[in-house]
Amino acid sequence: MSKNSENINIGMLVNTKKAEAMLIAERLLRWSKAKGISMLFPPHEAHVLGTPETPDEEWKKIVDIAIVLGGDGTFLRAARYVVEANIPLYGINAGQLGFLSCGNKDDAEKDLELIVSGEYTIQSRRLLHGEIYRENSKKHQLFALNDLVVTKGSFARLVSLGIYVNGRHLTDLRADGVVISTPTGSTAYALSAGGPIVPPHVPCVILAPICAHTLYSRPMILSDEDIISIVPEGQNREIMLTQDGQLGYELLPGDRIDMWLDKEKNISIITLRDRDYYALLQEKFKWGHSYE
């Protein structure tokens, strides 16, 4: 870390709708004042917490690291917020499972002590790049830390999807949908769809069908060099593409969604020595625990 603790600017991104996250924010604000460390809040958080605000663009320029208070959904929104600024993120969990926001709320001050002392490492997580084409014209470009999911609408029956890899037709899939996931997202929707757990440093993309109407459809690991294309087929007009489960785009039959692991876009995630990925798996899945 290039700055000492007196000069470091810590940004804070908070799920202001979670009472637990707000309590942690107030604790850390008191801690930062006692330590003489700058804690910077973008406009929304500043308004709710009653602190001085830093305009969004200025915040992104001067913040050295950012603390994210909430659950994994909050972390995903924070990732989109800082993607162009490449600010390292550390998530403190005030939600449920917490694979991205993996810090323990009870140890928040201790974790920040380690971070401002430079006792951390940074993992670079590559983003999934998606482009939606309609009649050969690009309509949307989007990036996802976890996954891009093509799925049926609320009342639709199975969707028919053409699956292509590097322009070659792989299969036609009839299912509730399909998850295209990064390794980071392997413990999210892809896991629920029967996909494998993939450590974040493994360069690959996961293709996981959702409730496929065939015995022969299985999750698949593809290379980080592969381009996956999905084309909705038939006449079903209730099809959605969701970005990290938070933003949605309506798809029409004949649209094409190209997806690949981006070589340049990434999110930097702060990792503490005793909170590495495998320790996190043990904790969240209760591996190694006795059930007697």
- Which residue among the candidates 64, 72, 111, 244 is catalytic per the annotation? 72
Q: Say if strands 256-271 and 228-233 run parallel, antiparallel, or are unpaired.
A: antiparallel
The residue whose two tokens read 């309609």 is: 134
Which of 43, 200, 39 is closest to 115 using CA atoms? 39
List of long-range contacts for 215-224, beta carbons under 8 Å, 24+ apart: 217/171, 217/173, 217/175, 218/194, 219/190, 219/193, 219/194, 219/195, 221/196, 222/165, 224/126, 224/260, 224/261
Which of 143, 140, 161, 139 is closest to 151 using CA atoms? 161
- Other CB atoms closer than 10 Å to residue 68's CB: what's the count? 31
Beta-bridge partners for 243: 148, 247
> Could you give the CA distance from residue 107 to residue 114 in angstroms, rounded to a whole number?
11
Sign of the dihedral through C-alpha 195, 196, 201, 204: negative
SS3 122: strand
- Other CB atoms closer than 10 Å to residue 117's CB: what's the count? 11
Q: Is 244 a catalytic residue?
A: no
> Could you give the C-alpha distances from 128 to 84, 117, 181, 285, in angstroms and in order?
15, 32, 7, 25
Decide: 249 and 140 in contact? Cβ < 8 Å: yes
Beta strands across the sheet bearing 247-251: 220-223, 204-210, 177-181, 147-152, 239-243, 247-251
> Could you give the CA distance from residue 206 to residue 187 in angstroms, rounded to a whole number?
11
Q: Which residues are catalytic?
A: 72
